[in-house]
Amino acid sequence: MRPSFHPRLINDPFNDPGLFIPFLFQKRAVVFDLGNIHGLPAKDILKISHAFVTHTHMDHFIGFDHLLRIMLGREKILSLFGPPGFLKNVEGKLSGYTWNLADKYNYPLCLQITEVQQDFTLSRNYRCQDRFEALQDPVRQPFDGILYEEPAFSISAVILDHQIPCLGLAVKERFHVNIIKEGLQCLDLAPGPWLSEFKQALYDETDPAAKFEVGMPGRPDKKRFELGNLAGQIARITPGQKITYITDVVYSESNREKITEFARDSDLLFIEAVFMDKDRELARDKGHLTARQAGELAARSGAKQFKIFHFSPRYTDQENLLYQEALEAYKNFP
Ligand SMILES: [Zn+2]
Ligand SMILES: [Zn+2]
């Protein structure tokens, strides 16, 4: 399976957490957490359409300013999601700057901010031309675990405990479209951006009898197919990819249960491992996991692969110990 999502941690595991998730063949990405994002080139930052912030401790939210700085003056809608209190946090950030020239931009940026509560969300828009002052009251909607949805994928959240509410996040493809190379060769087609249009047509449940045209570089004429026919020859449908991101959580019974359920059968689980298990008292005090607890949670939830991050600086040059501890817990889980 060639994954549709190619997640990568923005920084090394000793630096601020953040997961950048670009989409295959699309100039588009979502991001989980906004710590220091200076490691992302501006061209990648500009791909971000949706940002999800687990909680607003500085190491997870300081990158908001940089994101805003890069996007300002562009005709773009940027959606941000965060935990309870998020609207106030974002408003606080926005009111920290002077916007008297903001209405002069030719290309106005619009921020759509959503705060996630236990069973509802509150959303509010802030437009550059209004100097980022909200003109309407927040809109309340029921929340059933899915924060955002498109035909091809959904992003869900769960509220976890970090001595404050903290969001666990997951992106899940609805199903995965595998492209069969031999099928392409038989039809004399080369891979290219048309494949994402083709996949999108399948996610949109377009009528299989509809015409689908494939244009390729260097060839003036387009090849025409019936969508269903083409799908039968070049595609195989398998279950969708699931990527889960868990950080800044205390190892409590309630978190264990919620995380196990939420991360169930992830293809890839990103999970914090701030401390070593010998320092688990410290981990509990600060509302974090140890590497061993991270490995156990990965095993319990049946994650096919997992990656640990958010290491405490006290283990500088000893990261191999953290990896080892997590892997042993994962492998030896009953
Ligand atoms: Zn943190
Ligand atoms: Zn934190």
Tens digits of residue pLDDT in 282-308: 999 999 999 999 999 999 999 999 999
- pLDDT of amino acid 216: 78
At residue 263, the 3 state secondary structure works out as coil
Phi-psi group of 228: left, alpha or beta (phi > 0 → left; psi -120 to 50 → alpha; rest → beta): alpha
Ligand 2 centroid to 53 CA: how many Å? 11
- pLDDT of amino acid 256: 98
pLDDT band of residue 88 (cuts 50, 70, 90) is: very high
Q: Output the average pLDDT for the chain.
A: 94
Ligand 2 centroid to 57 CA: how many Å? 5
- pLDDT of amino acid 1: 64
Ligand 2 centroid to 17 CA: how many Å? 10
Ligand 1 centroid to 248 CA: how many Å? 5
pLDDT digits (tens, 9 = 90+) for 48-67: 999 999 999 999 999 999 99
Ligand with the closest atom to the CA of 309: 1
Ligand 1 centroid to 208 CA: how many Å? 47
pLDDT band of residue 263 (cuts 50, 70, 90) is: very high
Alpha carbon distances (Å) from 260 to 54, 160, 289, 304: 17, 12, 14, 13
For 181-197, the DSSP string reads HHHHHHTT---STHHHH
Ligand 2 centroid to 286 CA: how many Å? 8
Ligand 2 centroid to 137 CA: how many Å? 29
d(CA 113, CA 108) in angstroms, rounded, equals 16
Determine the Cα angle at 277 with ends 326 and 274, to 5°: 70
More confident residue, 174 or 250: 250
- pLDDT of amino acid 231: 94
Q: For residue 113, which of 182, 67, 168 has the smallest C-alpha distance?
A: 67
- pLDDT of amino acid 222: 86
DSSP H helical ranges for the chain: 42-45, 58-61, 64-71, 86-94, 181-186, 194-203, 227-234, 253-262, 280-286, 291-300, 319-331
Ligand 1 centroid to 310 CA: how many Å? 7
- pLDDT of amino acid 273: 98
Ligand 2 centroid to 15 CA: how many Å? 13
Ligand 1 centroid to 293 CA: how many Å? 16
d(CA 321, CA 308) in angstroms, rounded, equals 12
- pLDDT of amino acid 103: 79
